[in-house]
Amino acid sequence: MSDTAAAFKALNRDEMANRLAQDIPEGWYVNLGIGAPTKVADFIPADREVVIHSENGILGMGPAPAKDQVDPWIINAGKQHVTLKPGGSYFDHATSFAMIRGGHIDLCVLGAYEVAENGDIANWATSATESAPAVGGAMDLAAGAKRIWVLMQHTTKQGEARLVESCSYPLTAAGVVKRIYTDLAVIDVTEEGFSVVEMIPGLTREELQARSGARLRFDRLNTAG
Amino acid sequence: MSDTAAAFKALNRDEMANRLAQDIPEGWYVNLGIGAPTKVADFIPADREVVIHSENGILGMGPAPAKDQVDPWIINAGKQHVTLKPGGSYFDHATSFAMIRGGHIDLCVLGAYEVAENGDIANWATSATESAPAVGGAMDLAAGAKRIWVLMQHTTKQGEARLVESCSYPLTAAGVVKRIYTDLAVIDVTEEGFSVVEMIPGLTREELQARSGARLRFDRLNTAG
Amino acid sequence: MIDKFVRSMADAMEGIADGSTVLVGGFGSVGQPDALIDGLIESGAKDLTIVANNAGAGRVGLAKLLELRRVRRIICSFPRSAGSVVFEELYANGEIELEIVPQGTLAERLRAAGAGIPAFFTPTAAGTQLAEGKETRVIDGREYVLEKWLPGDVALIEAWQADRWGNLTYRSSGRNFNAVMAMAATTTVAQTQHVVDLGAIDPEAVATPGIFTSRVIHVPYGDPEI
Amino acid sequence: MIDKFVRSMADAMEGIADGSTVLVGGFGSVGQPDALIDGLIESGAKDLTIVANNAGAGRVGLAKLLELRRVRRIICSFPRSAGSVVFEELYANGEIELEIVPQGTLAERLRAAGAGIPAFFTPTAAGTQLAEGKETRVIDGREYVLEKWLPGDVALIEAWQADRWGNLTYRSSGRNFNAVMAMAATTTVAQTQHVVDLGAIDPEAVATPGIFTSRVIHVPYGDPEI
């Protein structure tokens, strides 16, 4: 599929993270997956208190420190240096995953290879026979958080759909994704499948459907914004 | 059974607690059950460091405070006021019972109604239909500690045996008792049943056997002391 | 701004429905959230299931709640203690259901609810009448009993310090069931002796991170009875 | 007098047998007990099962232990990370067994071993290939996987402060798996940055009570690599 003279401009990664960040209300406890989801923290409005959790035993994580202010003892799950906000706390791994698996995390934002229309997510291995797969905390987060939002490109670099009828990659968890933020749209996962709630300007329904591997519904599309 | 002109003098409660205390080596982590076992702490030799655990979240419990030194926030499992030694710590109930059930407590001393020759212990309810039975932490301690020693009168006030072939009262745990300290003797629970290792002066084997509801072995009796 | 402090007991008790399962912290009188229990009585909620280590003493607090016939069922390890007269009367008359749970199993079932573990095997009570009717399994040669989690609709707990994020500390043996129950309920309400600024509690010494706390009310409750 | 401090690495490693299961704390380079891992290499113990979140990086520490063919099997959540070259080589050549465990399940299996819980149900991995061959059960309408405890013969952990009873604190995100593994092994060996007097650690802030600690060695190891 090629886009000749497209009338729309896909969001870049910062814009995607920013778009998602706007939907996180004050007071939520949020875990941000490794990679693109981590950027979401930078775009939460400054007047909104959101408490960021990290699997390795941190609640109340703050932004990356200035280079000369690094405390080597404070890293996030992606092993990047971070800071602790006033009100933050440290705890062990069992307690940290009790928070996750026990349903205390309001939102987890994950990247994904694929999301299926029933909410299945595949984000940890690209084939069933992959050598030395690494799962980390992805399955715990996907199964445990109150809600899972996915932040990902709408298609692969090769133009293949990531929104699919059924995942071809090994599952991370079944039926858990509630919402997907892509460079093209915001899509809810409903009992009737994918339901588009927002599209970037200039993109047509047909163009979005053409880039998706499962049927999209548009009856809940917010056309006001 | 009546003792006319007995040539022995049974140990009193302090002497029983003292006798047991002598066998606790330095460095053990010890939980002392409610009632008579609690007194054991008073008789541990002063030059021997033993760490006392209390179910309600204390490790390193110290003796009862002077009346005018009471800290109302520090109580033991029997709800008596106690103290904390330097090196002591506080933790929650789940962690406290992780210590117990996880086999980290070297010794738990329990009172009992009955101990059977296979190590079964009955110490929480006197009949299966008792109204409002209360178990507390007894079953966790009995099942979880590395070793269970029982501290009890050799017979009931009515002269009935407490060392029995099989418990008539509801069990607290099956096959866990390693040793019994009574007012008359110290008895190991072995694969061959009760094995007397020590008797009070003046008591005969026949007299001890007469006060017991199961066969006693004397082949390991320490006659030196 | 996140602010979990509520200013009135009515706000602290908001939404506790008839039929709720209420976890009540404390061990003996240490760490027992007396003001919140009084608030629960005042709220009028009834047909409750109470989870607590003890079943109340005298005719105040938990015992009063029982005496007012607000409690259908109590789940505890040690109902019969000094002064548990109300409970014993109700129980003898068949006016209250009792589920006896070994103290460690009670703590672990609550922790499991907080940690998303619906069931676990434990050696405690294997081979005893408290395991009757329960699934058992021999694992590596030892018998274990399957126990289910014990989630609460509401937890009432007592803290020593609290900040506006709901981070809590406890005092000495007052941590007991409070820190466990805080994890185990949909709504966790804490009464705190002291209110402190955000950041005043050492991040290494937060006993209950605010994620487990829904509401906090400042109650300078003083010391436990001696 | 109880004194859990040992004065030499040889004493710290005493009795670690070939074939042992060794739990290694840390997450990334934070809280990783580098000196103890070097001690383990020096001890010559082989045919080991290593439990750790990661499978080592570069050619030092855990990676060196692997490269020396001392490890038969590794149980971890994230073996493939930046610089995990040795592990990847061995794995590709079939020279090491790998058991992949979701990070939270790994932590909970360790905690279960420490807490005397031989098995538990978890929602994590239900319906995925990591649940293949495992017992599952639907409880209250949701599918769960049965997971077993994961006890260690030895745990190697890194603490920040330690006293002679073996009470430990950790620093910031260095607590991670260390505090959990400390509970889960028959013999727990800690390397500590600081030695403090008995009573110097606030009793409310002891992260690992000494009951879980077997031996402590003072290693002023400095800060993790940036």
Give exposure, D139-163, as e/b (b: 16+ Cβ within 10 Å): eeeeebbbbbbbbbbbbbbbbbbbb
Band of the pLDDT at C146, cuts 50, 70, 90? Answer: very high
- The answer to whether position D223 is within a domain reads no
Q: How far is A140 from chain C (nearest CA, A)?
A: 10
Cα B168–B174–B178 angle (5° rounding)? 105
User: If you average pLDDT over residues A35-61, what whole number do you get?
Assistant: 96
| 8 Å CB contact between B37 and B151 | yes
Cβ <8 Å between B86 and D199: yes
| Average pLDDT rounded to a whole number, residues D165-190 | 98
If you average pLDDT over residues A159-174, what whole number do you get?
A: 97
Where are chain A's structural domains?
3-217
Topology adopted by domain B3-217: Glutaconate Coenzyme A-transferase (3.40.1080)
Question: Is D128 inside any structural domain?
Answer: no
**Which pLDDT does position A32 carry in this prediction?**
97
Tell me the average pLDDT of chain C: 96
Does B114 participate in catalysis according to the annotation? no
Q: Predicted confidence band at B224 (pLDDT cuts at 50, 70, 90)?
A: low
pLDDT for the residue numbered B128: 55
Q: How far is CA C186 from CA A102, C152, C215, in A?
A: 11, 6, 11
Note the pLDDT tens digit of each residue in C118-127. Answer: 999 999 999 9
The answer as to whether D144 is a domain residue is: no
Cα–Cα dist A202/A10, whole Å: 10
Q: By the CB < 8 Å criterion, does C169 face chain A?
A: no
pLDDT of res. A1: 46
Q: Which two tokens stand for residue A216?
A: 């999209």
Beta strands in chain D (DSSP E): 21-24, 48-51, 71-76, 97-100, 119-122, 136-139, 142-148, 152-162, 168-169, 185-195, 215-218
pLDDT (0 to 100) of residue B129: 57
Q: How far is D40 from chain C (nearest CA, A)?
A: 29
In this predicted structure, the answer to whether residue B173 has a pLDDT above a threshold of 50 is yes
Q: Given this model, what pLDDT does residue C81 score?
A: 78
Q: How far apart are CA C95 and CA D21, in angstroms?
A: 53
Domain harbouring D39, CATH code: 3.40.1080.10
Number of domains in chain C: 1
d(CA C66, CA A24): 43
| Partners of residue D183 in chain B, C-beta under 8 Å | 98, 102, 104
pTM for this prediction: 0.97
Has residue C223 been placed in a domain? no
Nearest residue in C to B127, CA atom: C129
Beta-bridge mates of residue B39: none
Asked if residue D96 lies in contact with residue A131, where contact means CB atoms within 8 angstroms, the answer is: no
Q: Is D141 on the interface with C (CB under 8 A)?
A: no
The minimal CB distance from C211 to the residues A26, A94, A99 is found for A99
Determine the average pLDDT of the residues in C27-31: 94
Query: In this model, does residue B54 exceed pLDDT 90?
Result: yes
pLDDT at C80: 83
Which tokens sit at A91? 């705890």
- B101:D115 CB<8 A: yes
Q: What is the pLDDT of residues D211-220, one digit of tens each?
A: 999 999 999 9
Helix or strand holding residue C98 (H, E):
strand C97-100
Expressed as residue numbers, the domain containing C183 is 9-117+149-218
C-alpha to C-alpha distance for B95 and A98, rounded to whole angstroms: 14
C152-199 confidence digits (pLDDT tens): 999 999 999 999 999 999 999 999 999 999 999 999 999 999 999 999
Taking residue B128's Cβ as centre, other Cβ atoms within 10 Å add up to 10
Q: Which tens digit of pLDDT belongs to each residue from A90-135?
A: 999 999 999 999 999 999 999 999 999 999 999 998 875 556 688 9
Check residue B140 and give its pLDDT. 98
- Residue A20: pLDDT above 90? yes
Lookup: tokens for D215: 């031996």
